[in-house]
């Protein structure tokens, strides 16, 4: 069984993670769990691309995603 769970660091998503962890014990086999981090995109302001490159933006999203996973553990 596979379970995909969206997390955004909010108290509601963390409650969902805790609930899922409580339910995992009831399964015969532990399900494969994939956490998907969800957050609002960075607003693209005029001229922002002159200051913030795609690589910087990608690193920001990676860091935010990693932070959400840490909150869930």
DSSP for 12-25, please give it.
HHHHHHHHHHHHHT
Two tokens at 45? Answer: 């302001």
* Each residue's pLDDT expressed in tens, for the chain with a length of 73 residues: 889 988 877 889 889 989 998 988 888 888 898 888 777 778 878 888 788 888 988 888 888 777 765 554 5
- Do residues 30 and 61 make contact, with C-beta atoms less than 8 angstroms apart? no
- Do residues 37 and 63 make contact, with C-beta atoms less than 8 angstroms apart? no
Domain ranges of the chain: 2-72
Give the global pTM. 0.57
């Amino acid at each position: 069984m596979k379970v995909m769970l969206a997390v955004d660091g909010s108290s509601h998503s963390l409650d969902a993670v805790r609930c899922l962890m409580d339910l995992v014990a009831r399964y015969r086999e532990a399900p494969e769990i994939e956490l998907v981090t969800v957050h609002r995109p960075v607003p693209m302001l005029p001229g922002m691309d002159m200051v913030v490159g795609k690589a910087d933006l990608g690193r920001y999203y990676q860091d935010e995603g990693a932070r959400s996973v840490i909150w869930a553990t």
